[in-house]
Structure 1
C-alpha cells in the first residue's frame, strides 16, 4: 500500500510538472504567421518581410510571412478574420484591400472594422504615374496636354479592376478632365511587364514595385499620387501640383483579428512601435520608398481606416467599378 501511494504521488507530481509550464508559457511561444494578402514581390510583401523580421527579433520569436493573394486581397484577409484569435495569425495589409474592397465587392467576406484590431500603422507609399520611355510626354504637364487633345485615347494598365492603381486613373480622369482607358491585369507585375515591353504606354504602380525600373531608365516617372513629392524621387512632381486636391496614397498597416487577448495585443502593439523606431528598419523601409508613419495610436489608426472607407466608397461609386 505504501509503495502504491508513493507511486501515485509521483505520477501526480509528474503530471503537474508537465502541465504547469505549458499553461504558463508566455506569448509568443511558437512561430507567428504574418498573412500578406498579396503576391510575393509586391510592396506589401516587401514591407511585411522587413517589419515581420524586426518584430520577431524584438519578441524573440520567428515571424513567417504567408502570401495568400486572390480576390484583391479578400482571400488572405478572410483567412485572418475567421482564423484563431490567439495572436499567432496576423494580417499585414494595404489600404486598397482594407478600405476599398468593402465598397468594391458585394460581399468581401469580412468587416474591416469589426473583424480586426489595429496593431500599428506602418507607413505610406505613393503610386507613380509611369510611361514607357517611347511615350512622347517628357513630364506631367506635357502628359496632360496630350491627354486633353481631341480624340486622345491613351490606355493605362493597372493591377486589376477596383485596385488602387485602377481608381487612381479614374480619379485623374475625373479631376483633370481627361479620358484614359483602363486595362486591368492580374497583378502589378504583368501590368508593369507590358508597359516595359511597349504593349501599353501608361501604368500606375506603387513606388517600391517600380523603383528599380525607374532607376534603370526602363520606365519614366511623370508624377506621384501623394499630396507631396516623395523624398525618394524629389525631382518627380506630385499630381496635386497640377491637379489641386488630388491625393491617393497607399497605407500599409498591421492588424490582429478581433478577439485576441488584450495582453497579447498590447505586446504586439509595443513591439511594432519599437520596430518602427529602430534605425535599421527605418533605413530599409525608406530605401524602398516607404514613408514611415509618425507614431500613431490604435484609435488614430482606426479613425484613418474609417475615413478612408468613406472616401473610397465615394470614388468607387463615381467610377462605377464593381466586382461580384
Structure 2
C-alpha cells in the first residue's frame, strides 16, 4: 500500500468514525435484499487475518439483516479458486468475495493464466483493513533481529528457508523484496494459508516465516515465536518492541490489505447497502478493539475509493514484480 493512498484511506476512516451512531447503517432496499443466506468466500483456511475480518463482517450482516452468513474457506492456487468462484456467481449480492491484495491486485502480474479479471469481474464494495507482516523465527534459531538473519543468510547462502502463506501473498512479496534489497538467498516454502506454516515454524520444522500479524501476534506475545521485524514503516501498538524492517533497510514497507467485492453487475443499490454496513461495522468499538489488538489497521472506504485503490495497487505491484523478477512457485 502506498503512503499517499494510506493517508487518503485513513482520512476516510476518520470521517466515517465521526458519523453519529447508526448514521451509516444500511436499510434494506425495496427489493428485500438479502432474501436468503449470504456466502462470504475466503481464499485462505480458518485462522488468518482474512478469515478473522470476514467472520466479523459476516456477524455484522447477520445482526443487521437477520440472514445467516456462511464463511466458505477455499484456499488454493494463490486464492484464484475462491476468487474465480465468486466471479462466476450470480450478481445478486448473496455470494461475495472477502479477499486480499494478492487476489485483487497482485495475481494478474504473478501468474500467466488468471481465471478472472478484477476490473471486469468484480464490483468493489469496501476496503476493510490493512495488516503489516511479521518475520518470525522459532526461539531456538540464532536470530533476535533482522540484522542477525541478514548476517547469517549472507554467510550461508541457500541454506535457510522461510514459510509464507502462499505464492503471491503480500508476505511472500515482502520477503522476496528483502532478499533483493539485502542480497540474500533464502528458499521459499509456500503454504496454502497461514495456519500450516505457523504450525511448522512453531514445531521448528521451518526456521522462519513471514506472515500477517494476526496469524502470529499471540505466539509472539507468549514467547513461542520471536519477531525479527515488521514490514510497516512504524512500530505496531500490538507489538511495540518489534522494530520495522526500515530500521535496517531504510524505506522498506510492504503491508497487506483486505476488502469485500461482489460479482460484477451486482445492482448498485446492493453494493451501496453492503458498503454502508461494512463501514458501520468498522465504527463499532468492539470490532475496532478486536482488529487493532491483532495488528489490523481499520480503514473503510466507499466502493469508488476501493476501486481506485485496487487500480493503484495493481500498477504498483506490477512494477515491483517485474523489477524483482518474482515468479509464482
With the shorter chain as reference, the TM-score category is 0.7 to 0.9
Tell me the residue number matched to 1:313: 318
Distance 1:283 1:244, change over 3 A: same
User: Which of 256, 280, 304 is matched with 1:299 structurally?
Assistant: 304
Cα drift, residue 321 of structure 1: 0.6
Tell me the residue number matched to 2:47: 41
Distance 1:58 1:158, change over 3 A: same
Tell me the residue number matched to 2:211: 205
Distance 1:125 1:320, change over 3 A: closer
The CA distance in 1 between the partners of 2:238 and 2:128, in whole Å, is: 17
Does 2:282 match 1:276? yes
**Structural mapping, 1:86-235, within 5 Å:** 86-149=92-155, 153-235=159-241
Cα drift, residue 301 of structure 1: 1.5
Shifted more, 157-166 versus 250-259: the winner is: 157-166
CA contact (8 A) 1:146 1:152 kept: no
Does 2:256 match 1:250? yes
Cα drift, residue 189 of structure 1: 2.2
Structure index of larger Rg: 1
Distance 1:149 1:111, change over 3 A: same
The CA distance in 2 between the partners of 1:223 and 1:283, in whole Å, is: 23
Q: Secondary structure at the match of 2:321?
A: helix
The CA distance in 2 between the partners of 1:161 and 1:151, in whole Å, is: 21
The CA distance in 2 between the partners of 1:261 and 1:186, in whole Å, is: 33
Shifted more, 233-242 versus 54-63: the winner is: 54-63
Shifted more, 32-41 versus 150-159: the winner is: 150-159
Does 2:246 match 1:240? yes
Distance 1:233 1:311, change over 3 A: same
CA contact (8 A) 2:44 2:192 kept: no
Deviations 1:35-57 (Å, cap 9, x if unpaired)? 11221222211110011111322
Shifted more, 178-187 versus 220-229: the winner is: 178-187
CA contact (8 A) 1:128 1:206 kept: yes
Which blocks of at least 5 consecutive residues in structure 2 are unaligned?
A: 1-29
CA contact (8 A) 1:33 1:64 kept: yes
The CA distance in 2 between the partners of 1:252 and 1:160, in whole Å, is: 16
The CA distance in 2 between the partners of 1:285 and 1:217, in whole Å, is: 21
Give the CA RMSD over aligned residues.
Answer: 2.0
The CA distance in 2 between the partners of 1:160 and 1:33, in whole Å, is: 23
The CA distance in 2 between the partners of 1:241 and 1:116, in whole Å, is: 38
CA contact (8 A) 2:122 2:264 kept: yes
Which blocks of at least 5 consecutive residues in structure 1 are unaligned?
A: 1-23
The CA distance in 2 between the partners of 1:256 and 1:308, in whole Å, is: 19
The CA distance in 2 between the partners of 1:25 and 1:313, in whole Å, is: 40
Cα drift, residue 152 of structure 1: 7.2
Shifted more, 141-150 versus 247-256: the winner is: 141-150
Number of aligned residue pairs: 300
Q: Secondary structure at the match of 2:126?
A: strand
Cα drift, residue 274 of structure 1: 0.9
Deviations 1:151-209 (Å, cap 9, x if unpaired)? 57322122333333222211001112322222233432222222222222111011111
Shifted more, 110-119 versus 180-189: the winner is: 180-189
